[in-house]
Structures are given as structure tokens and as C-alpha cells.
Amino acid sequence: MKKIAVFASGSGSNFQAILDVVRTGELAADISLLVCDKPGALAIDRARADRVPSFVFQAKDYLSKEEYEKAILAELKRYDVEFIVLAGYMRLLGPTLLTAYQGRIINIHPSLLPAFPGKDAIGKALAAKAKWSGVTIHFVDEGMDTGPIIVQERVKLEAKETRESLQRKIQRIEHKLYPEILQMLLTQGDVIDDKKTRAY
């Protein structure tokens, strides 16, 4: 069973979805660590409730990205973490973590990349009057949501779509798809190569 770390910055809804399937045995993984850059984030409470160790930091307390990533890396090594799962972590990763975990870091993003990378993808899709949005799971590189795509699922935006209704649609997919893909990667160790996009 591989040891994973989840990185989050906010409420941790995807973190909770992963916790839930680990608890039921649907996901064969050991969540060894939560890394969070926002003291007071709900994700920390979720970790505490499930007795998952947390490393909480603030970037402003370090001289550079390299310095705080070295601190993160030390914690990852302490817990023998083998795989990193980004779940609403709002910072670009730098060379320190990317080099140490090359090919073993994935992210989930609430749009059909390359459309609407970065923050507030849901708001951007609504503002652009997009007909489709969805979810992308991808490997992480040094760019802003630019890593190789593993899988995508799409949702249709209705005429009266709101931020809340679209977020609910996207989160329903995220909470099912992320654990499913993580299980495949942890057990098979390869990239999904058909890259099919499923529509809802």
C-alpha cells in the first residue's frame, strides 16, 4: 500500500472524498500526511478528525519558495511519502518538489484544460458563456495547470447555470473521479493513454 500526501489550501472537499474511500477500502492507499499552506483551513480539521498528520506552514515565514519546499520535502521524507496528490493547493510547485517526485504528482482542476487554467476556473467559464466545462486530472509540471492530461470529464452548462450549480456538478465528478484515477495510478503505475473525455 503506497503512502500518499495530500496538499490542500481550503475546505478540503476532495481531501475528504479521498479519506472516505480509503476508509471503506475502495482506495488502497495510506494517507500519511496533509500539507496545507493556510492555517485555519477546514482541510486541517478534516485531517485531525481522521488522525492524519498535518504539516501547516505560511510562505511568508520563509525566505523563498525553495526554503519552504525544503521544509515540506523533509516532512514527506519523514513519513516515507511516495506520491503527492494536489487537492485545491493554490501554489505552483517548484523544482525542489518536482525533482524529488517527478512523475508522482497529480492535480485536479475544475475545467477542461487547457481552457481556464489557474484560479476561479468556474467563474471564468461562466463569464465566457462556455457551453461545456468539467474536470481535468493531470500530472504536475512547473507550469500553471500545464502538465500532461490523464483524463477529463465534461459537464454541459445550462442556460441558467450559476456558480453554485456548476460547482455542485463539478464537485460530484471530482469526488468520484479523483479516487478512481488515483487507485489506477497507484496500482498500475502508468498513464491512462486513451485520454477519453466523458460527457455528463
- Catalytic residue annotation: 109
Nearest to 155 by CA among 192, 194, 121, 119: 121
Query: Which residues, other chains included, contact 122 with Cβ-Cβ below 8 Å and sequence gap of 6+?
Result: 110, 111, 133, 163, 166, 167, 170
Q: How far from chain centre, in Å, is Cα 5?
A: 10
- Cβ atoms of 154 and 198 within 8 Å: the answer is yes
- Cβ atoms of 119 and 90 within 8 Å: the answer is yes
Query: Which residues, other chains included, contact 116 with Cβ-Cβ below 8 Å and sequence gap of 6+?
Result: 124, 125, 128, 130, 133
Nearest to 15 by CA among 149, 196, 178, 191: 178
At 10, is the secondary structure helix, strand, or coil?
coil
